[in-house]
Structure 1
Amino acid sequence: MNAPFPRPLSRPQGSERRGSVLELVGDTPVVLAEKLSPPGREVWLKLESANPMGSVKDRLALGLIEAAEKDGSLKPGQTVVEATSGNTGIGLALVCARKGYPLVIVMAESFSVERRKILRYLGAKVVLTPASLKGTGMVDKARELAEEHGWFLPRQFENENNEKVHEATTGMEIVRAFADAPLDAFVSGLGTGGTIAGVGRALKAHMPSARIVACEPDNSPVLASGVPQQYAEDGSPAASHPRFRPHPMQGWAPDFIPAVTARAITDGVIDEIVPVAGADALAWSRRLAREEGVFCGITSGATFAAARQLASELPEGSRVLAMIPDTGERYMTTPLFGDIEEDMNEAEIEISRSTPGARFDATPAAAPSAAVPEADKRALAHVDAIIADETQSLVFFALEWCEFCWSAQKLLDLMEVDYRIVHLDGPDYADPAWGGDVRAALAQRSGGTPTIPQIFVGTKHLGGATDLFDAFNDGRLSGIFEDAGIAHKQPGVENAYSLLPKWLQKR
């Protein structure tokens, strides 16, 4: 597992053809924060969101998997399991999807929901651990699962290849980028510690005058405390660090000092440790977005806060590089977006009112009620045959692109109901004449209701989405399904209307 990292990561430039998405990992840009740099100084940003899954951890994921493939510790088709706050897991999901390894990610329940969804979207399984057990809880669970099932555990917090991949790729990219204008300092936060350890080693070798500065939350000074971490024989944490406190920097500063970080400190790679306040992290993340156009997360704001403060204390002409590890999309359900409104605020409403069209505060003219056209006999027969199909007691007439259809379907799926779905905008109904005739026939069989979706249970018309939701909310739906012999379960939903998109719930 700790074999030398197999190869430097590099990707084709410009519009060259790629043989795999994995060739897009690395070679990320460096951008000057021109507006937010202190006067007379330069703060540069290493934008790791340019990696395929939007974070610096894509490098780590690819490096650990390819090192394990080379030394034989990872077998073809073997399941990979890892504990992560999100970004390493997302990087592993990318690599495992491309290489064909099943993946199980263990994550504390306190991390943002969008991380879980991205992982599952990429095909990974996500096992949550109680937030009260903190980072050590998820690490212990991942190790337990690996031992029980014979899965491969990359051990990102201990694995020496973690720092080696960053030394060979991230660090050397920085050395090349600043070959003609050496850095005075490099600033990074600490998750596993691999980024700062690897970059620090590269800079110590090629740019020794650069200071290597690590950041940690000011309310959780695990490193600055000087209190040693307890380790198990395998290098994993034996217990939570006594100075750990919960903080808003997801991905930074777990409740233990990773072995990778400890090695960097012992080897003198890190020159300085600076505290960053949570409020400053949030504020600078937002300023980077609104003044530099850099869409980043909380840890990026925290790193920039430390880098900017350091730059302001250095002589004029100084040059500092801040690691910007990921994108802001990982933080939608965190305090970073807590004051970002979904609905229009007063200023936006005033803009809307400045012209007469498409306004929510204007009452639209009532549309004349359209008479349901007499259905074609062939279309009626077609609809009747679908409704009367003895092999399927529940028929769901829907549109593929319809929020009401999606929400009604979600309720049926949560109840684990077997049903037939007929998409009236699908290829079978692409001919306008035939599709129109079938829609008219359905409206006629639905009591003159032209809207979609329409649901039939045991040949009886139940109604549309609101009828389905009302029947669920008042308890009638289970009885309707039982009378029709339709097996179903009770989902963990109290109000079916909560399944609608938020903008529809308010109408």
Structure 2
Amino acid sequence: MSLTRLFPEDGRYFQRTAPTPLVPVQLEPSQPVSWCKLEFLNPSGSTKDRIARHMLEKAWRRGDVTQGGWVVEASSGSTSLALALACAQLDLRFLAVMPEGVSNERVLSIKAYGGEVISLDKSLGMEDAINRAEHETRERGGITTRQFENPDNSEAHRLWTAQEILSQIPGNLIEGVVSGVGTGGTLVGLFEGIFQSGCDVTPFLARPVSHAVISEVECCSFSKRLQGVMDGTSSIFSLERLPGLVEISTDDEDAIETTHSLIHHGFPVGPSSGLNLAAAHQAVGYLLHDANVVTVFPDRMDRYFSTELFGPYQ
């Protein structure tokens, strides 16, 4: 981890990391090897550091936001934490609009970075949070980063994450890329960056399927048990940008069990990592047995201590 001069004119520095590791993961001998990008090692603990940094840097250089200005985002999860950290580094003020019921670890982290949180009634969905974020931006000034439609979201992964992976994968060859979809920025950006490098790569959407009635809802999800995996909200995610997309449905129990297995093997990750790895196993089967399939471990486990994921340990 290092501090890099971001804006030489005012001497400000921005915390950056070296490229996150790409490691081969095989939890059991019967499972295929999947290449996993350890994005939970980014400064705020998730892959969303990449889009937060990229969106704010470009907004700053365009003059859309200046020192002391407001940044507002509708986010139930890691994007809000990443933006709160980045705003703390850049001397910006941050407000997260979040559905009620978001894990307390996330709320406390945002506040610790100096951000503010507005919690909406849990009966309201992400569209309501987006509308409230727009209202707060008009009232306070500044910008809303609009992660669900901002092209800088997927561009961050196309320009940075995908290029890191290509430099790390043996033989520079990738045949499949797997990700769950929140905004869609990760899957779209990785696919575009890898495809444009010349790889004949197939994109795989990891869709969690819930077979249980859960009363606690953190966001509008494919599965109410895997936070941050959403449907029908983002304009970034589209079939036109993901030609040949294959959808993989994974039971949320399998995703949670895979997450527990990852943690037991020393990967301090959240449930979206279990989802991605379980789907990656299926993607390898869809392709050739020895195909290079890449996925990401999006965030770390400490923001899930008060959720169902850690129920067995309490």
Provide the TM-score with structure 1 as the length reference.
0.56
Report 1:225-240 matches (<5 A): none
Deviation at 1:38, TM superposition (A): 4.3
Q: Is the CA contact 2:203–2:244 (under 8 Å) kept in the aligned structure 1?
A: yes
Corresponding residue number in structure 1 for 2:26: 34
Report 1:309-324 matches (<5 A): 309-324=282-297
Secondary structure at 1:259's aligned position in 2? Answer: coil
Corresponding residue number in structure 1 for 2:214: none
Corresponding residue number in structure 1 for 2:215: none
CA distance, structure 1, for counterparts of residue 307 and residue 85 of structure 2: 24
- For residues 26 and 103 of structure 1, do their structure 2 counterparts lie closer, same or farther at Cα, with a shift above 3 Å needed? farther
Corresponding residue number in structure 1 for 2:252: 278
Q: Deviations over 1:359-406 (max 9, x none)?
A: xxxxxxxxxxxxxxxxxxxxxxxxxxxxxxxxxxxxxxxxxxxxxxxx
- For residues 294 and 197 of structure 1, do their structure 2 counterparts lie closer, same or farther at Cα, with a shift above 3 Å needed? same
- For residues 313 and 213 of structure 1, do their structure 2 counterparts lie closer, same or farther at Cα, with a shift above 3 Å needed? closer
Q: Is the CA contact 1:114–1:333 (under 8 Å) kept in the aligned structure 2?
A: yes
Q: Are 2:215 and 1:247 equivalent residues in the alignment?
A: no
Q: Is the CA contact 2:14–2:90 (under 8 Å) kept in the aligned structure 1?
A: no
Report 1:382-421 matches (<5 A): none
CA distance, structure 1, for counterparts of residue 222 and residue 229 of structure 2: 12
Q: Are 2:35 and 1:44 equivalent residues in the alignment?
A: yes
CA distance, structure 1, for counterparts of residue 170 and residue 162 of structure 2: 12
Deviation at 1:313, TM superposition (A): 4.3
Report 1:64-143 matches (<5 A): 64-143=55-134
Match of 1:22 among 2, 10, 14: 14
Secondary structure at 2:37's aligned position in 1? Answer: strand
CA distance, structure 2, for counterparts of residue 184 and residue 277 of structure 1: 24
Match of 1:267 among 238, 241, 254: 241
Q: Deviations over 1:11-45 (max 9, x none)?
A: 76xxxx75687342461111111334645x42111
Secondary structure at 1:261's aligned position in 2? Answer: coil
Report 1:173-252 matches (<5 A): 173-178=164-169, 180-219=171-210, 247-252=224-229
Q: Is the CA contact 2:191–2:242 (under 8 Å) kept in the aligned structure 1?
A: no
Q: Is the CA contact 2:259–2:274 (under 8 Å) kept in the aligned structure 1?
A: yes
Corresponding residue number in structure 2 for 1:294: 267
Which amino acid counterpart does residue 303 of structure 2 have in structure 1?
Answer: R
By percentage of residues, which structure has more strand? 2
Q: Is the CA contact 1:38–1:308 (under 8 Å) kept in the aligned structure 2?
A: no
Match of 2:52 among 61, 73, 76: 61
Which amino acid counterpart does residue 228 of structure 2 have in structure 1?
Answer: G
In structure 2, the gaps of 5 or more residues are 6-11, 212-218
Q: Are 2:276 and 1:303 equivalent residues in the alignment?
A: yes
Deviation at 1:208, TM superposition (A): 2.6
Q: Point out which structure has higher relative CO (alpha carbons under 8 A, 6+ apart).
A: 2
CA distance, structure 2, for counterparts of residue 282 and residue 124 of structure 1: 30
CA distance, structure 1, for counterparts of residue 35 and residue 167 of structure 2: 14
Deviation at 1:282, TM superposition (A): 0.6
Which amino acid counterpart does residue 201 of structure 1 have in structure 2?
Answer: E
Which amino acid counterpart does residue 104 of structure 2 have in structure 1?
Answer: V
Q: Is the CA contact 1:30–1:45 (under 8 Å) kept in the aligned structure 2?
A: yes
Q: Supply the RMSD in Å over aligned alpha carbons.
A: 2.3
In structure 1, the gaps of 5 or more residues are 1-10, 221-239, 342-507
Q: Are 2:264 and 1:258 equivalent residues in the alignment?
A: no
Identity of aligned residues (%): 29
Paired residues, number:
301
Q: Is the CA contact 2:179–2:204 (under 8 Å) kept in the aligned structure 1?
A: yes
Q: Deviations over 1:151-183 (max 9, x none)?
A: 311111101111111111101111111261512
Q: Is the CA contact 2:208–2:255 (under 8 Å) kept in the aligned structure 1?
A: no
Q: Is the CA contact 2:206–2:279 (under 8 Å) kept in the aligned structure 1?
A: yes
- For residues 38 and 319 of structure 1, do their structure 2 counterparts lie closer, same or farther at Cα, with a shift above 3 Å needed? farther
Report 1:322-401 matches (<5 A): 322-341=295-314
- For residues 269 and 245 of structure 1, do their structure 2 counterparts lie closer, same or farther at Cα, with a shift above 3 Å needed? closer
- For residues 64 and 37 of structure 1, do their structure 2 counterparts lie closer, same or farther at Cα, with a shift above 3 Å needed? farther
